[in-house]
Amino acid sequence: MYYTKLGKNTVNAVRFAEVLQVMARHGFADLLGRAGFRNGLPARVLRSLNLIEAPKGPPETLGARLCAALTELGPTFVKFGQILSTRSDIVGPTLAQELTHLQDNVEPVPFDKMRGVFVETLGEEIETLYATFNTTPVASASLSQVYQATLSGGEKVAVKVQRPGSEKKIEADLSLMRQIADWIAEHMEDAKLLDPAGIVDEFARSIHRELDFNIEARIIDQFAQNFEDMPQVFIPGVYHDFSSSRIITMDWIDGVRVDQLDAYEARNCDPHTMALLGCDVLCRMIFEQRLFHADPHPGNLFITQNNQIAFLDLGMAGHLERTDVAAIADLFLAIFHEDTSACINAILTLTTQGEPHDMHALEHEIAEFIAFEAPTIIGGGQVGRGIETALQILRRYKLELAPRFSLLLKALATIETVGRALDPKFDFVPIIQPYLEHLILMRFHPKQVLKEARLNASALLKLGRQIPDDVGRLLQQMRHGKVRFNIHHEYLENLAHTIDRSSNRQVVGMITAAIIVGSSLIIATDSPLSRLGIGGYIFAGLLGAGLIISILWSRKF
């Protein structure tokens, strides 16, 4: 990618310069240099104007500096950092843990600017929709603000309203982030395995879902249906007549954070019971319902009354296929039963690459992990520690987890941390193991075996019917000379583009030289056409200046 691509969009160019400035000021100049950003035109301009400052103050950790930089860059980058906090297989456990401290609390937008959202999306003023409405927000995030209100029937509700202009700002930042990711993937060899463009695309899908409150409303409805037979779990109901793509009205949760231990006695709750309940509910979400809360930290878990737990921010959800759940069950059971071969097969199922660069070394390291560390981890009920160790092994062998599994493992590690905060003697293994064993037993249930046999037989019959037709079409195309083989050479398009650009510049240079020579000959003849020669000089000068600017402007930054 060249800077001219960014220059096509003035907003992107200015924003890119701002990103360079902020990252350099927070101590990432070396990283910018490795990526080639520091020596290009934008960085040179910023340095000449003294807009790139050296880090100030006492030295900080990498995570603290990155959190500060992302916070300064705004809500899109804060959200991106929060997504990276779930990808310890990419950024490492230490940095991932520090990124969890990124706060999405910002100064609230004045209510006068928020009022218009109600009219635009619901078609009525607030006074008509709600019996009472407190215009002071109870929570303010980068994308939305939450207000307390009551309906005409007396129901107390929470109203989540999207900030005006959020979508446009996010789309502009996503466009810039994707261009930067493409550049990094092309120019940093050690970054190619991380698939920076894929990470940005994953983030874009996540934030687009978060921008559509209709999706969040449907997710909440599904959670409510899943737990309608479990009264100790409170899922706030959605009032669809008072909700839209930018507004969601739901039941008000009368509770406190799950880690506010001094409030337990007044609410007739027990920390040990709540620790067991929170972990059991998440396991049920994952292994039975396959729709789970992706970020069950204490701020998203409330206690109400009589050992009832409530889940907030249910829009942060992950979804699993049946095969995904089976793969997770295989991984945990392989560790529990100290089966190295099954553990490796399960790990490779969870990754995107499929095969490590050194299978024998991976097998040896997994075997040592199971022999020496797994018994201690299992005996101590430390599922989170086991997950962290497994992810460190994946990183060493350049294996990347599929995004849905990253969310899942992050959720499991987070809920275990919450459980231990409530009860230091908490053991997660006895809670998760029955779910895993039930999944394995269900595989051998006669109904399940018969179902899989029927599906496999149907697939084989379908394949058998297709093969003769496919072979016949292939032979017919070969007889008519219509069989084509497409060969794709990586970066060949870039080479063709470079050759084309170089030849164009050579032609412009030759034309400029020819105009100069011709103009000189016309002026030397001392004829009435000498003025035409001067015009030729001017035109040649413009062409030459344009060529020089083009060369400087398109230098890789």
Residue 497 confidence (pLDDT) above 70: no
pLDDT in tens, 542-552: 877 777 777 76
Is 295 tagged catalytic? yes
Q: Which long-range contacts (CB under 8 A, 24 or more apart) does 385-392 make?
A: 386/335, 387/412, 387/413, 388/88, 388/93, 388/413, 390/331, 390/347, 391/88, 391/89, 391/93, 392/92, 392/93
How many Å apart are CA 42 and CA 14, to the nearest integer? 9
How many Å apart are CA 82 and CA 319, to the nearest integer? 18
Can you list the alpha helix ranges (DSSP code H) found in 144-263? 166-187, 196-211, 213-226
Stronger pLDDT, 129 or 367, i.e. the higher one: 129
The answer to whether 125 and 109 have CB atoms below 8 angstroms apart is no
Q: Model's pTM, two decimal places?
A: 0.71
Which regions of 52-138 does DSSP assign to beta strands (E)? 132-133
Mean pLDDT of 420-430: 86
Looking at residue 403, its pLDDT comes to: 72
Collapsing DSSP states into helix, strand and coil, what is residue 372?
helix
The DSSP secondary-structure symbol of 256 reads E
Looking at residue 193, its pLDDT comes to: 55
The residues, ordered by sequence, that sit 6+ positions from 287 with a Cβ below 8 Å of its Cβ are 325, 328, 329, 435, 436, 438, 439
Which residues is 301 bridged to in the sheet? 311
Q: What CA–CA distances, in Å, run from 355 to 45, 193, 398?
A: 45, 13, 10
Mean pLDDT of 413-437: 86
Which regions of 263-404 does DSSP assign to beta strands (E)? 291-293, 301-303, 309-311, 317-319
Residue 408 confidence (pLDDT) above 70: yes
Looking at residue 25, its pLDDT comes to: 78
pLDDT in tens, 49-77: 444 455 555 556 778 888 888 888 877 88
Instruction: Please work out, in degrees rounded to the nearest 5, the angle formed at the alpha carbon of residue 201 by the alpha carbons of 199 and 205.
Output: 120
The answer to whether 498 and 186 have CB atoms below 8 angstroms apart is no
The residues, ordered by sequence, that sit 6+ positions from 458 with a Cβ below 8 Å of its Cβ are none
Catalytic residue among 89, 251, 295, 324: 295
Q: What is the mean pLDDT of the chain?
A: 79
Which residues is 256 bridged to in the sheet? 303
DSSP calls for 23-64: HHHTT-HHHHHHTT-TTSHHHHHHHHTT-SPPP-SS---HHH
How many Å apart are CA 83 and CA 142, to the nearest integer? 15
How many Å apart are CA 334 and CA 433, to the nearest integer? 12
Looking at residue 146, its pLDDT comes to: 92
The pLDDT > 70 percentage for the chain reads 81
Nearest to 110 by CA among 185, 38, 163, 33: 163
Strand 233-234 versus strand 309-311 pairing type: parallel
Instruction: Please work out, in degrees rounded to the nearest 5, the angle formed at the alpha carbon of residue 500 by the alpha carbons of 499 and 501.
Output: 90
Structure tokens, 103: 């706060």
Neighbours of 436 (CB within 10 A): 19
How many Å apart are CA 239 and CA 467, to the nearest integer? 53
Mean pLDDT of 272-293: 92
How many Å apart are CA 6 and CA 513, to the nearest integer? 32
Instruction: Please work out, in degrees rounded to the nearest 5, the angle formed at the alpha carbon of residue 135 by the alpha carbons of 134 and 138.
Output: 75
The DSSP secondary-structure symbol of 267 reads T
Residue 269 confidence (pLDDT) above 90: yes
Looking at residue 364, its pLDDT comes to: 85
- Amino acid identity of residue 547, one-letter, is L
Residue bearing tokens 């006492």: 58
Q: Which long-range contacts (CB under 8 A, 24 or more apart) does 300-303 make?
A: 301/257, 301/258, 301/418, 302/253, 302/255, 302/256, 302/257, 302/258, 303/255, 303/256, 303/257, 303/258, 303/260, 303/263, 303/264, 303/267, 303/269, 303/274
User: Rounded to the nearest 5°, which phi and psi values hold at 156?
Assistant: -85, 130
Q: Which long-range contacts (CB under 8 A, 24 or more apart) does 34-40 make?
A: 34/188, 35/183, 35/184, 35/187, 35/188, 36/183, 36/187, 36/556, 36/557, 37/183, 37/557, 39/557, 40/3, 40/555, 40/556, 40/557
The answer to whether 83 and 202 have CB atoms below 8 angstroms apart is yes
Looking at residue 4, its pLDDT comes to: 45
Structure tokens, 221: 């409805």
At residue 496 the predicted structure's pLDDT band, cuts being 50, 70 and 90, is low
pLDDT in tens, 224-243: 999 999 999 999 999 999 99
pLDDT in tens, 1-23: 444 444 445 556 677 777 877 88
